[in-house]
Structure 1
Amino acid sequence: MTSPTLEYKIFYRQHLPHIQPPGATFFLTFRLAGSIPATKLAELHEEAQATERRLAQIKVDADRLREALLANKRQFARWDALLDSAAYGPMWLSEVPIASLVSGALHFQHDRRVDLDSFTIMSNHVHIVLTPMEKADGTYYSLSRILHSVKSYTANKGNELLGREGEFWQHESYDHFVRDPDELIRIRRYVLNNPVKAGLVDSPEKWPWSYCKFGFS
C-alpha cells in the first residue's frame, strides 16, 4: 500500500509555506486510491530525495523557496502525467453516475463554503481551482475541512453506487496556493485543457465533466 506520507513528501512541503492566506485561491488535485502504482511513486520519491539534498545546500531562503516551487511543479507534472495515462488502478470517475456525483458535490460547495472557479473530473483524478469563503465570524473555511467534506461524502455515496466497500480516494491531496492573477490564468487553462491533453476531446468545452465560472472562451 502506498504511504500517504511518501506521496505528501514528493511535493517538498518542508520548503513551502504551511499557510492558508485569507482569501487565497488554491489549485487542488485528488485521486482515486490505487491509481498510481507504488513502484512509480517510489521512483518519484527517489528523485525527490536527490532534489531535497540539493535544496538543503541553498542557503538563501528566497532562492531555496524559488527552487522548491520549480521542483514542486516538475514533480507534480510527472505525477499528473501518470494519472492522465490511466494505465493503472480504478477508473470509477469515468462512469457517469460517479462523475455526476463528484460534480454535484463540488457545485454544492459553491457559494456555501467556496467560490468555485473551475474543475475537471478525469477517469481517476479531479482538478479543482477554488477560493475558501469567509465565515460570519471573519475567519475562513478550512481547506482541509472542505476537502474532507467532499471526499468523505463522495466516497460513501460512490461506494454505494459501485456496490463495494473500502478506500475510495487516496488519503493525501495536492494543493498549491495561487500566487498571482497570471498564475491563476495558467492554472485554469491547465485544468480545463486536461481532457484535451489526454486525447479525450479536441476542445475543453466538449468535456462533460469540466466547469468554469467564466466560461470556456
Structure 2
Amino acid sequence: MPNYKRPRVPGATIFFTVALRERGDDLLVREIDRLRDAVRKTRAERPFRIDAWVVLPDHLHAVWTLPEGEADFSTRWRLIKARFSRGLPRGPRRPSDLARNERAIWQRRFWEHHVRGAADLAACKRYCHLNPVRHGLAETPEAWPFSTVHREIRHGRWP
C-alpha cells in the first residue's frame, strides 16, 4: 500500500482537486445542498477559510486557508466526503471498498498544492473560477452558479 506523505504546514493555504469515483456523473451539482451542508458542518467542527471554491458535476476545486497552528486538511476532507455520502446509494463496490466499508462515491485520494505567495494564490483562485468555462459548462465564470466567483464579484475582486 502506498505511503502518501503530505506536507503538514500549520496555517497553510492549499489548493485542492477532489473527484468522484465515476467521472462523467453529475452527482455534485445534483446534490449541491448535501455538499454545502457537509462543508458547513465540517467547518463548524474544524474551521478553515474558503478562499475559492468551484463545484463541477464530477469534481471540485477549492482553495482553503487553515487556522494558525492547524495543518490537518485530510481529516476535513474525510469528514466532508463522509457527510456528503451518507444517505446516497452506494456506487459499484470493489473488494477494497467492502474491506474499508466505503460507499464507492469518491476517489480515495485528492490532489493538493500548498500555495506559495500572493501570485500563486491569485492563479489558483483564477483556475477555480475559470474551470467551468474550460469544461464547456458555462460561457463565463459568472454564468456558473456553483462558484465563489459570485462572492468575488460582490466584493469587486473579479476579474
Normalised TM-score (structure 1): 0.58
The question of whether the paired residues in 1 share the 8 Å contact of 2:53 and 2:148 is answered with yes
Q: CA deviation at 1:100?
A: 2.1
Larger Rg belongs to: 1
Match of 1:152 in 2: 82
Find the aligned partners of 1:130 and 1:177 in 2 and give their Cα distance.
10
Alignment of 1:1-217 (within 5 A): 18-35=6-23, 86=24, 90-95=25-30, 98-110=31-43, 112-134=46-68, 139-140=69-70, 142-157=72-87, 159=88, 164-165=89-90, 166-212=103-149, 215-216=152-153, 217=158
Match of 1:62 in 2: none
Find the aligned partners of 1:123 and 1:176 in 2 and give their Cα distance.
22
Q: CA deviation at 1:103?
A: 2.7
Find the aligned partners of 1:196 and 1:212 in 2 and give their Cα distance.
12
SS in 2 for 1:215: helix
> Identity over the aligned pairs, expressed in percent?
26
Find the aligned partners of 1:200 and 1:132 in 2 and give their Cα distance.
30
Q: CA deviation at 1:109?
A: 4.3
CA RMSD between the two structures: 2.5
Q: Deviations over 1:129-182 (max 9, x none)?
A: 001124xxxx3151111111111100114x1xxxx1231111111111001110
SS in 2 for 1:151: helix
Normalised TM-score (structure 2): 0.77
Q: Which has the higher helix share?
A: 1
Q: CA deviation at 1:203?
A: 1.6
Letter in structure 2 aligned against 1:24? A
SS in 2 for 1:29: strand
- Equivalent pairs, count: 141
Structure 1 residues without counterparts, runs of 5 or longer: 36-85
